[in-house]
Amino acid sequence: MASRTRLFRTASFRLVAIYGLSFTVASALLGAGVYRSVDAEVAREFDDRIGEESDALQGLYATQGGERLAQVLAARAAGGVFAYGLQARDGRLIAGVARPPSGKDGKPSLGWVEMPEAEADEAPEGAPEMLRALVTRLADGTYLVVGDEQRRTMGAMRAILVAFGWAIAGILALALAGGIWTSAQFLRRIDAMHGAARALMAGDWSRRIPVDATSDDLSQLARAFNRLFERIEKLLLANKHVSADIAHDLRKPLAHTLRRLEALRAPGDLKPEIETELEGAAADIEGVLATFDALLRIGQLQAGARRAAFRSIDLRDIAQEAAAAFRPSAEDDGRVIVEQLTTPFPLQGDRDLLMQMIANLIDNALRHTPPGASICVRTEADARGPRLVVCDNGFGVAETELNLIFDRFYRSEAAAFASGNGLGLALVAAIAEMHDLAYAASDNRPGLKITIVPNVGERDGAA
Amino acid sequence: MKLLLVEDDLDMAAHVLAGLRERGHVVEHTADGREGLSRALAGGFDVLALDRMLPGLDGLAIVAALRRERIATPVLFLTNLSGIEDRVEGFEAGGDDYLVKPFALEELLARLSALARRPTLGAPATVLHAGDLEMDLIQRTVRRGGVSIDLGPKEFQLLEYFMRAEGRVVTRKMLLEQVWNFHFDPQTNIVETHVSRLRAKIDLGQRPSLIRNIRGVGYSLGV
């Protein structure tokens, strides 16, 4: 069902629908024009026929007299197409059945009239047919009526209408079928592009959009995208090499320095002040190396590390483990970790990375709250799906900074006193993105609240 | 302990060789992957320390070749990057542990000793002893000199790890990886806090503590 509505919402279907509608409107206008002119022509011919008949009868009256006319009328009425009437001055019908209708003054009205068919000609049931008739007054004061059933012209017009109706229905059906067909073709190719784009976003940079031999606009677009992807892949590869080179070249001298410091301290006969200084220097270098590792790791995650190690896991279990690991340290500093982990949060993921994500969130909460603070770790669920929340009742983050805390090296004013390298939440963001999870920070009134939810809507571009 | 180091960073290799030899271990070294494989195939080592990226033949290929030959000598990978992929690939190829460069010599030594003394196959012990400390792995109970000690699940796991490594140095990183499955270094001192709680329970007020601090390195449980 969803795919069917998707079909109707494609650009190509809309285009075909617009064309189909335009053709229908044009056909309807053409039909109306034809109908009007044919109708006028048919009406004129109809009147001409009656007029000619009336003229002939008047001629007959002029040359052969009223009695002869009455005889002819009687004979014609029996087998002819027209309805006739010859009415004397006193209102008596001399011949035929059609009586001229009376005007306002009580006298029969002359000229063209519309009137119900006389009783004798009437069909056994139903309303009497309408006649269109020409009433003329003869020299002796009698009235001559010559008329015909209007239905005859209406039948012809109806046939024209029906023909146009079928033609319009045919155009609409063709437009719909054409729309569905072209849209299905279009969708198939768009889906291929979508699939390639998703694979690329997931880190499979070697993926390309399948291209057939045709050179229509979509194929050209696909080729252009493929060239773009090729370029991105090259850049990423270059970037990866640069990162690896930097990692190698910067870590090596740092490692050497670290070893020298270690060698200096090894004999153990140093003055305590020097020992302390050396230890501090070593710790600083280790800090730089740790920052370096975190940066490289974020880079790797963003470049789309392989997901082969992904398994079905429950984020709730990981949160439980993480909360348990941090609880003693939190308690020693006078903080509490409040767990509400009853709702499952199943997903496909890398256990170690998700553990780091939750550990970083708890770590962050512990380091940015005053002693005595309460830190919550909970899973919830509503109609939209499961949710992981890590919150605290500490100082919180200014509204304007909430969006920035996931940036690399971002440190809020309020957090200036806290330890850390400013990469903890950036790693959280990178790990979440890799797992197709969305993250958001909000005001916990007081404190900070970080929420992690599955990324819906990304799954199907049309959903 | 007799070990083979295959490492092409000669400066680092010299440092490791000097450090290990100073502590009385027998260390062989080569910078070439193929040479490393042929020496490892010849056998006689308690443990191998292999660089991941080597000229000739890389560390992964060496381990894969060894395992194909059914040589089970424990392998420690030395890697430049703490990439997720690196770690998974290392274990999949048949590696037993990995250590990211740069590392402290003590960290390397602690891990090599842990690998070299891994228990040989046989009926696994169900009761562990360390002095008058006794741990029943089936009943999940701990006693010291007849006094029953109540431990939380993580404390039990931590003590079990210490007792299995009795007399050896256990680093903070090893504990994070083995007990908590944390392959990263949290800012919060979770290891220190857990160890200090464990000490408070198992020491029964006696001094010095059963679990000694090894300054700048980690801990060691010994009597």
> Domain ranges in chain B?
2-116, 127-221
A54, part of any domain: yes
Above 70 in pLDDT, residue A462? no
Best B22, B79, B84, B85 member to test A by mutation, with max A CBs in 10 Å, is: B84
For residue A328, what is the domain's CATH number?
3.30.565.10
Of A299 and A322, the one with more pLDDT = A322
Mean of per-residue pLDDT scores for chain B: 88
A-chain residues near B11 (CB < 8 A): 256
Closest CA to A435 of A192, A201, A193: A201
Of A113 and A457, the one with more pLDDT = A113
Q: Is A328 on the interface with B (CB under 8 A)?
A: yes
Interchain pair A353, B84: CB under 8 A = yes
Q: Smallest CA–CA separation between A366 and chain B, in Å?
A: 8
DSSP calls for A162-190: HHHHHHHHHHHHHHHHHHHHHHHHHHHHH
Quote ipTM for the complex.
0.83
- Strand segments, DSSP code E, in B122-195 are 127-130, 133-136, 141-144, 147-149, 169-171
Choose among B11, B188, B197: nearest Cβ to A326. Answer: B188
Choose among A254, A355, A367: nearest Cβ to B182. Answer: A355
Indicate the angle between helix axes B172-179 and B153-164, nearest 10 degrees: 120
The pLDDT value recorded for residue B149 is 93
Closest CA to A168 of A184, A176, A157: A176
The pLDDT value recorded for residue A256 is 82
Interchain pair A325, B180: CB under 8 A = yes
A-chain residues near B12 (CB < 8 A): 255, 259
Interchain pair B185, A290: CB under 8 A = yes
A400, part of any domain: yes
Side-chain-side CA neighbours of residue A305 (13 Å): 25
Residues A129, A21 within the same domain: yes
A168, part of any domain: no
The pLDDT value recorded for residue A461 is 36
The pLDDT value recorded for residue B122 is 58
Weakest mean pLDDT among A307-316, B23-32, B43-52? A307-316
pLDDT tens column, B69-91: 888 899 999 987 656 667 778 88
The pLDDT value recorded for residue A247 is 65
**C-alpha distance across the termini of chain A, in Å:** 12
Percent of chain A having pLDDT more than 90?
A: 19
Above 60 in pLDDT, residue B106? yes
Residues A50, A143 within the same domain: yes
DSSP calls for A393-445: -SS---GGGTTTTTSTT---GGGTTS-S-S-HHHHHHHHHHHTTEEEEEEE-S
Of A247 and A311, the one with more pLDDT = A311
The pLDDT value recorded for residue A126 is 60
Indicate the residue among A237, A270, A302 that finishes a domain. Answer: A302
pLDDT tens column, A134-164: 998 888 888 889 888 877 777 778 888 888 8
Residue of A nearest to B153 (CA): A324
Interchain pair B154, A308: CB under 8 A = no
A185, part of any domain: no
Percent of chain A having pLDDT more than 70?
A: 90
- Strand segments, DSSP code E, in A65-194 are 83-87, 93-96, 111-116, 130-137, 143-149
Cα angle for residues A46, A50, A51 (degrees, 5° grid): 110
The pLDDT value recorded for residue A460 is 40
Indicate the residue among A278, A302, A326 that finishes a domain. Answer: A302
Residues A117-122 have a mean pLDDT of: 59
A181, part of any domain: no
Q: Smallest CA–CA separation between A287 and chain B, in Å?
A: 11
The pLDDT value recorded for residue B118 is 66
Pairwise CA distance, residues A341 & A424, whole Å: 23
The pLDDT value recorded for residue A420 is 66
Interchain pair B193, A356: CB under 8 A = no
- What's B2-116's CATH class? alpha beta
Residues A435, A359 within the same domain: yes
Q: Is B201 on the interface with A (CB under 8 A)?
A: no
Pairwise CA distance, residues B75 & B60, whole Å: 10
Above 60 in pLDDT, residue A120? no
Above 80 in pLDDT, residue A301? no
Q: Is B190 on the interface with A (CB under 8 A)?
A: yes
Residues A112, A77 within the same domain: yes
Residues A434, A347 within the same domain: yes
The domain defined by B127-221 carries CATH number 3.40.50.11540: no
Q: How far is CA A278 from CA A187, A259, A272, B101, B102, in A?
A: 66, 11, 10, 20, 17
Judged by CB atoms within 8 Å, which residues 422-451 of A form the interface with B? 424
Q: Which domain holds residue A73?
A: 14-154
Confidence of residue A375 (pLDDT cuts 50, 70, 90): very high
The pLDDT value recorded for residue A154 is 78
Residues A402, A316 within the same domain: yes
In chain B, % helix, strand, coil (3-state, to 5) comes to 40, 20, 40
Choose among B85, B183, B188: nearest Cβ to A305. Answer: B85
Judged by CB atoms within 8 Å, which residues 4-23 of B form the interface with A? 9, 11-12, 15
Interchain pair B187, A419: CB under 8 A = yes
3 state DSSP class of B19: helix
- Lookup result for tokens 């009134």: A445
Q: Smallest CA–CA separation between A268 and chain B, in Å?
A: 12
Indicate the residue among A154, A170, A189 that finishes a domain. Answer: A154
Choose among B102, B104, B187: nearest Cβ to A254. Answer: B102
Closest CA to A255 of B216, B80, B113, B5: B80
CB pairs under 8 A between A and B: 93
Residues A293, A328 within the same domain: no
Cα angle for residues A316, A320, A322 (degrees, 5° grid): 115
A197, part of any domain: no
Highest mean pLDDT among A199-208, A372-381, B49-58, B122-131: A372-381
Residues A149, A242 within the same domain: no
pLDDT tens column, B183-214: 888 888 899 999 999 999 999 888 888 999 98
Q: Is A241 on the interface with B (CB under 8 A)?
A: no
Residue of A nearest to B188 (CA): A363
pLDDT tens column, B109-166: 999 988 887 665 556 778 888 888 999 999 999 999 889 999 999 999 999 999 988 8
Residues A77-81 have a mean pLDDT of: 75
Choose among B82, B186, B194: nearest Cβ to A363. Answer: B186
CB–CB of A17/A25 below 8 Å? no
A-chain residues near B84 (CB < 8 A): 297, 300, 305, 309, 350, 352-353
Q: Is A80 on the interface with B (CB under 8 A)?
A: no
Q: For chain A, what is the domain count?
A: 3
Q: Is B84 on the interface with A (CB under 8 A)?
A: yes
The pLDDT value recorded for residue A386 is 94
Residues 6+ apart with CB under 8 A from B59: B6, B33, B50, B51, B52, B53, B77, B78, B90, B95
Q: Smallest CA–CA separation between B123 and chain A, in Å?
A: 31
Q: Say what the pTM is.
A: 0.64
3 state DSSP class of A80: coil
For residue A31, what is the domain's CATH number?
3.30.450
Residues 6+ apart with CB under 8 A from B35: B6, B56
CB–CB of B169/B106 below 8 Å? yes
Residues A361, A340 within the same domain: yes
Interchain pair A252, B9: CB under 8 A = yes
Choose among A251, A258, A367: nearest Cβ to B80. Answer: A251
Interchain pair B81, A244: CB under 8 A = yes
A201, part of any domain: no
Confidence of residue A458 (pLDDT cuts 50, 70, 90): very low
Mean of per-residue pLDDT scores for chain A: 83
B-chain residues near A354 (CB < 8 A): none
Choose among A255, A256, A325: nearest Cβ to B190. Answer: A325
Residues A406, A284 within the same domain: no
A279, part of any domain: yes
Residues A288, A315 within the same domain: no
Q: Is B181 on the interface with A (CB under 8 A)?
A: yes
Q: Is B173 on the interface with A (CB under 8 A)?
A: no
DSSP calls for A326-361: HHHHHHHTT-EEEEE--S--EEEE-HHHHHHHHHHH
Residue of A nearest to B183 (CA): A352
